[in-house]
């Protein structure tokens, strides 16, 4: 299929010169329309689209600059070129500052005109492609927003629908345990206990799933955060639930630009894991601090717990992935996935280093834009 010829609108009050230019450019593959004044050019643009506009700078009634501005209100994708004589080059440069791509001098030289028109066509194609890309991005964003609304509605509905029977299971199991538990054989009482624990764990999974789904929609509220104070508060809260002595060493923690509630969640999840996984360590030690590498600030949480094999580390930040069984250590496997999403939303990254029997270390950055 033959591509349509580029359409060129020429506005020049010198009729003979305008007609000669139309004839010449038609011989070089352009479809041309010549008009003698600005109003006729605007009328032609309203009737049909053109790729390029060649406007004479000095025309009675409406000069080339005014014509170009009015023409681009009709078609913002239109590319304009000003035609001028030697004595008005300064004004032609001013025209370029008003939106013209280039200017060509009278009397015309074909060798000078054709490259300018080729650049104009390239600019026209680029503008059209950019406009199409923007439309696609807007359409995709609208579709994504609609999908997120549907997912949010589904998650809330599923959460509500799951909790009702789950609460009934847990409630009746607890009631049975409290009323007839002492009369049951040990094996059957263990069954009831297992039902209660499983129901509670399912409830926790639903909570974590809801928290995970909300993270992508929650707007960041960046502000200067005293990280040292925040960590001390988190450690103090977590210590209230400990019945053992754990050494916590807090190093230098400089301020950072972050969402304080989300950053708090990062440290709550990482430190909760550190307390949990050092439960069976005789002299448990947890270290929190930061390091500077190549103009980037890295925060870390380290423990001397059981650690893990780095060959399995690829799954560490996947939702509901666990490196230890639920019988060994409680949890849903969502905490680190939440941490990763928060860090990534701040423009940072997170990674882990560990070895079996030698503890685990988690490092994260908040991105250069979020650093204090």
pLDDT at 369 over 70: no
The pLDDT-based confidence of 325 (bands split at 50, 70, 90) is: very low
Sign for the CA dihedral angle at 319, 323, 325, 331 comes to negative
Q: How far apart are the first and last CA of the chain?
A: 59
The pLDDT-based confidence of 205 (bands split at 50, 70, 90) is: confident
Report the distance separating Cα 107 and Cα 83, nearest Å.
10
Assigned fold of 7-108: Rossmann fold (3.40.50)
Question: Which run of H or E residues covers position 149?
Answer: helix 110-180
pTM reported for the whole predicted model: 0.53
Assigned fold of 220-370: Heat Shock Protein 90 (3.30.565)
Kindly report, residue by residue over 257-314, the tens digit of the pLDDT.
Answer: 998 888 988 999 999 889 888 888 888 899 999 998 777 889 999 999 888 878 777 7
Greater confidence, 133 or 325?
133
Kindly report, residue by residue over 152-187, the tens digit of the pLDDT.
Answer: 676 677 676 777 888 888 888 888 888 888 888 888
Q: Residue 212 has what pLDDT?
A: 67
pLDDT at 372 over 60: no
Q: Residue 9 has what pLDDT?
A: 94
């Amino acid at each position: 299929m033959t591509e349509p010829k580029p359409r060129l609108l020429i506005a020049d009050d010198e009729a003979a010169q305008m007609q000669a230019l139309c004839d010449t450019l038609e011989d070089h593959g352009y479809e041309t329309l010549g008009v003698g004044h600005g109003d006729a050019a605007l009328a032609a643009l309203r009737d049909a689209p053109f790729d390029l506009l060649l406007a004479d700078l000095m025309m009675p009634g409406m000069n080339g600059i005014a014509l170009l501005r009015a023409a681009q209100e009709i078609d913002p994708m239109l590319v304009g070129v000003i035609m001028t004589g030697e004595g008005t080059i300064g004004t032609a440069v001013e025209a370029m500052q008003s939106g013209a791509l280039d200017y060509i001098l009278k009397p015309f030289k074909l060798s000078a005109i054709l490259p300018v028109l080729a650049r104009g066509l390239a600019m026209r194609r680029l503008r059209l492609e950019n406009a199409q890309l923007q439309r696609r991005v807007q359409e995709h964003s609208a579709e994504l927003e609609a999908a997120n609304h549907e997912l949010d509605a589904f998650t809330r509905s599923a959460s509500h629908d799951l909790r009702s029977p789950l609460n009934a299971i847990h409630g009746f199991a607890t009631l049975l345990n409290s009323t007839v538990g002492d009369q049951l054989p040990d094996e059957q009482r263990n069954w009831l206990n297992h039902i209660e624990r499983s129901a509670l764990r399912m409830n926790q999974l639903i909570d974590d799933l809801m928290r995970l789904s909300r993270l992508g929609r929650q707007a960041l509220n960046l502000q200067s955060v005293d990280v040292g104070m925040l960590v001390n508060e988190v450690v103090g809260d977590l210590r209230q639930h400990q019945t053992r002595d754990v050494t916590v060493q807090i190093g230098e923690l400089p301020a950072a630009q972050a969402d304080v509630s989300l950053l708090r969640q990062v440290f709550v999840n990482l430190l909760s894991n550190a307390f949990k996984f050092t439960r069976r360590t005789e002299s448990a030690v947890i270290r929190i601090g930061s390091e500077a590498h190549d103009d980037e600030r890295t925060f870390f949480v380290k423990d001397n717990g059981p650690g893990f094999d780095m060959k399995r580390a690829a799954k560490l930040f996947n939702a509901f992935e666990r490196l230890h069984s639920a019988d060994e250590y409680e949890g849903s496997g969502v905490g680190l996935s939440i941490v990763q999403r928060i860090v990534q939303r701040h423009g940072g990254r997170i990674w882990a280093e560990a070895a079996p029997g030698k503890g685990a270390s988690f490092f994260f950055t908040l991105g250069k834009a979020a650093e204090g």
